[in-house]
Amino acid sequence: MSLQKNDLNKKTILVTGAAGFIGSNLVHRLLQEFPDCRVVGVDNLNDYYDVSLKEYRLKKVEKTPGGNRFTFFRQDISERAGMEELFRREKFDIVVNLAAQAGVRYSIENPDVYIKSNLIGFYNVLELCRYYPVEHLVYASSSSVYGDNEKIPFSTDDMTDRPVSLYGATKKSNELLAYSYAKLYGIPCTGLRFFTVYGPAGRPDMAYFGFTQKLLAGKTIEIFNYGNCKRDFTYVDDIVTGIVNVMRCPPKSGEQNGRKSAPAMVYNIGNSSPENLLDFVNILQEELVAAGLLPADYNFEAHRKLLPMQPGDVPATFADVSALERDFDFKPSTTLREGLHKFVQWYREYYQQK
């Protein structure tokens, strides 16, 4: 089954976290595919990682065809007054909330920023969608909500009440809050559980990016759980395609056992092809050599350190995307080899220019 898709042309769309990895790619795609839409982006440009990378992404968006239909505001979603002024003035049709404090391990050391951004910030977005009604609120959740779930692959029908990190707990809280606002106020809400997103101009705190930086600097990379972890790596273009498909199909209320159901849905977006971390590292190394960034005789074994599992980590992630495929005739398909090749090519070009 495929849902009927609305046209995003002539819509005013808010993308929070617009300078982020996924957000900037989404804005770029919207401007390309929907020549009559207008996109407003907000981001607080915090220094969780190199701000110049965020500025690079924004400049790339502004230079894309249709970049004149993109307006950017430096704004923190946890600051209610500034966000309310935007909602009041712009009258958004669709809101895509991608702004969040990311990172599982960072949440253990810096819990305050997660409460501020992921809970207070998301609450502000929900309240503003309530008082300034929108056609659809799409928001980023995470595979981290599955926590200690031992059933593989992870399905949106599974229980998600055992998070192993504060980050995962905040994302599950987002889903609960969104459902309650959908039920109480009729706000169509769709949550997307992303699985290990990677690609060009990604987040430096992610393994593929950090490993690349360390290997090129002659440093040792740390591989946790002695390499016995699997991750469902999902290329950013596939993630964006999934978001755009979902944006066009706001959920509707229905009847269940005589009761009106909430217009709320949750989908997994993952590649459904978990890769062992050691295999992932081997592919990355091969691509770095092929790109001429490392010599063919580089001693990779001497630059690896196997360590036990870290707090907040899980042994495996694996997305069941059957619902996404059923409703949108779409399933992520970019192979890890293809995705890492594109990342390494971007990395070489970007850092040679600096």
Strand partners, 8: none
Q: How many CB atoms lie within 10 A of CB 325?
A: 16
Q: Strands 234-235, 259-260: parallel, antiparallel or unpaired by DSSP?
A: unpaired
Alpha-carbon span 243 to 138, nearest angstrom: 8
281: which residues sit within 8 A by CB, 6+ positions away? 211, 221, 223, 227, 304
Q: Cβ-count burial of 321 within 10 angstroms (0-12 exposed, 13-18 middle, 19+ buried)?
A: buried
Q: Where are the alpha helices (DSSP H) in 69-202?
A: 80-90, 104-109, 111-114, 122-131, 166-185
Active site residue 181: no
Q: Strands 136-142, 189-194: parallel, antiparallel or unpaired by DSSP?
A: parallel
Q: Where are the alpha helices (DSSP H) in the chain?
A: 21-33, 51-63, 80-90, 104-109, 111-114, 122-131, 166-185, 207-216, 236-247, 277-290, 322-328, 336-353
Catalytic residue among 114, 139, 167, 347: 167
Question: For 15, phi and psi rounded to 5 degrees?
Answer: -120, 110
Alpha-carbon span 180 to 185, nearest angstrom: 8
The DSSP code sequence of 186-211 is: ---EEEEEE-SEE-TT--TTSHHHHH
Report, as residue numbers or ranges, the catalytic residues: 167
